[in-house]
């Protein structure tokens, strides 16, 4: 056995201070809050999708007009946002899932280090949205998108891409992070 260290020994204090200053890798002061946000976002996304798919039977109904600018329509997205990088085969789907898992791990590490409630909320929304869409990809091989925003007049027609609640959570999270970075209390201010 080595020498016994007393509580007032300076080496013990140095070790304790250095240990306390290191940021945790996977759990921080706001992780529980963001985890709750992520669970709510993913669960809400999945409940709505399950209802639209199996109770409302959106696939059989075709386009359902909600307002003059908002419709429900079922689209199976085999790619990422905006239908980019479409993957029809299982290998491509697994690659997209692996990329999504890696992104969630990196966001989780960022979350463990944050002390901002807005950043934690934003990261929770992004993680929850990513998980909601990943569940679709595992269950169906594609993501169920169903909201179509459009503007149509006599001389103009604009249709946004079809999206879902997980996408809304991700976009809201990104907007929160941008706000925090550009305008928030800790934002870098120009001299």
Runs of H (alpha helix) within the chain? 10-21, 31-50, 58-61, 90-113, 117-140, 165-182
Selecting among 9, 45, 145, 186, the annotated active-site residue is 145
Rounded Cα–Cα distance for residues 16 and 139 (Å): 47
**Sheet of 157-159: strands edge to edge?**
64-67, 70-77, 143-152, 157-159
Question: Which H/E stretch holds residue 150?
Answer: strand 143-152
Instruction: To the nearest 10°, report the CA torsion of 98, 127, 59, 66.
Output: -150
For residue 145, indicate whether it is catalytic. Answer: yes
Rounded Cα–Cα distance for residues 166 and 173 (Å): 11
Measured CA angle at 41 (ends 188, 128), to 5 deg? 65
Active site residues: 145, 167
């Amino acid at each position: 056995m080595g020498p016994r260290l007393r509580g007032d020994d300076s080496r013990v204090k140095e070790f304790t201070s250095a240990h306390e200053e290191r940021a945790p890798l996977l759990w921080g002061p706001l992780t529980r809050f963001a985890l709750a946000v992520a669970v709510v976002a993913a669960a809400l996304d999945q409940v709505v999708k399950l209802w639209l798919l199996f109770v409302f039977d959106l696939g059989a109904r075709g386009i359902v007009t909600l307002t003059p600018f908002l419709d429900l329509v079922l689209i199976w997205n085999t790619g990422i946002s905006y239908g980019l990088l479409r993957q029809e085969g299982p290998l491509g789907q697994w690659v997209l899932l692996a990329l999504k898992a890696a992104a969630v791990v990196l966001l989780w590490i960022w979350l463990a280090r944050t002390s901002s409630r807005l950043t934690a909320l934003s990261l929770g929304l992004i993680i929850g949205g990513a998980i909601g869409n990943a569940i679709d990809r595992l269950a169906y091989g594609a993501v169920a998108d169903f909201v179509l925003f459009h503007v149509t007049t006599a001389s103009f027609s604009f249709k946004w891409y079809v999206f879902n609640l997980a996408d809304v959570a991700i976009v809201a999270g990104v907007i929160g992070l941008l706000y925090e970075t550009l305008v928030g209390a800790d934002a870098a201010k120009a001299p």
